[in-house]
Amino acid sequence: GESVGLHLPTLSVQEGDNSIINCAYSNSASDYFIWYKQESGKGPQFIIDIRSNMDKRQGQRVTVLLNKTVKHLSLQIAATQPGDSAVYFCAENFPRNTDKLIFGTGTRLQVFP
Amino acid sequence: GAGVSQSPSNKVTEKGKDVELRCDPISGHTALYWYRQSLGQGLEFLIYFQGNSAPDKSGLPSDRFSAERTGGSVSTLTIQRTQQEDSAVYLCASSRDGRQYFGPGTRLTVT
């Protein structure tokens, strides 16, 4: 069935560099997207969300970009820090008019000093 | 304020035994979700409660799995006659505005 997926299972970056984590979704009717961060042994933690009426949303050191034309979502982390090392999941709200989320398989971000 | 809590944090059980996992959602959150996460994998949806509506059980993998939500708050996920393939982390989340907040999970090991 339709699903959310990720291009890269593992991303390694040097401390201080910017990170970009990508996600492709296939439910064109989805109108709400979320990025979660999951550290080892913990539950997923909300990072940032975006609705389909926006192309970009910024938080503290993070930016989410939404390209509805190609059904692509990305998470940008500025000045990546060791504490950013975790698995990152994108999720889409589907079906609409519910609170259900479909999660991608996750990308592991490794930050090297 | 208090987040989503789950208990126990770890559970080791013998194959064939029943287990109960508990979730305390954030106060005031009307929606509650259960997910399963196998090692190194993504989140597998199990069941979803929304207010007083009938739960969405479409993700439950077999009839050995069931869940209840009493009084619109605490939820219990029950797995009967556990199998080794049930070993995973079971995550609970609650939401009010679509943004789901997760608990720390219960790590279940079936020996």
pLDDT, mean of residues A15-38:
93
pLDDT of residue A1 exceeding 50, the answer is no
Tens-place pLDDT, residues B53-99: 899 999 999 999 999 998 879 999 999 999 999 999 999 999 988 88
Tens-place pLDDT, residues A59-111: 999 999 999 999 999 999 999 999 999 999 999 988 877 788 888 888 999 99
Cis amide bond preceding B8, omega within 30: yes
- Check if B55 contacts A (Cβ < 8 Å): no
For residue A91, give how far its alpha carbon lies from the nearest alpha carbon of chain B (Å): 10
Three-state DSSP string of chain B:
CCCCEEECCEEEECCCCCEEEEEECCCCCCEEEEEEECCCCCCEEEEEEECCCCCECCCCCCCCEEEEEHHHCCEEEEECCCCHHHCEEEEEEEECCCCCEECCCEEEEEC
pLDDT for the residue numbered A5: 47
Q: Which of A99, A102, A104 is facing B95, going by the closest CB pair?
A: A99
Q: Which of A32, A43, A106 is facing B91, going by the closest CB pair?
A: A43
* Subunit contact B43:A44, Cβ cutoff 8 A: yes
- Check if B100 contacts A (Cβ < 8 Å): yes
* Subunit contact A43:B104, Cβ cutoff 8 A: yes
Minimal-distance CA residue of chain B relative to A39: B104
pLDDT for the residue numbered B2: 83
What mean pLDDT is reported for chain A? 89
Quickly tell me which residue has 């979803």 as its tokens.
Answer: B48
List residues of chain A with CB under 8 Å from any CB of chain B.
32, 34, 36, 41-46, 49, 89, 93, 98-106
User: Contact at 8 Å (CB) between A37 and A59?
Assistant: no
* Subunit contact A44:B56, Cβ cutoff 8 A: no
pLDDT for the residue numbered B1: 57
B97 or B26, higher pLDDT: B26
The Cα B96–Cα B28 span in angstroms is: 7
pLDDT, mean of residues A11-40:
93
Minimal-distance CA residue of chain B relative to A97: B98
pLDDT for the residue numbered A8: 46
pLDDT for the residue numbered A4: 52
B88 or A40, higher pLDDT: B88
Q: Which of B4, B42, B48 is facing A89, going by the closest CB pair?
A: B42
pLDDT for the residue numbered B39: 80
A95 or A24, higher pLDDT: A24
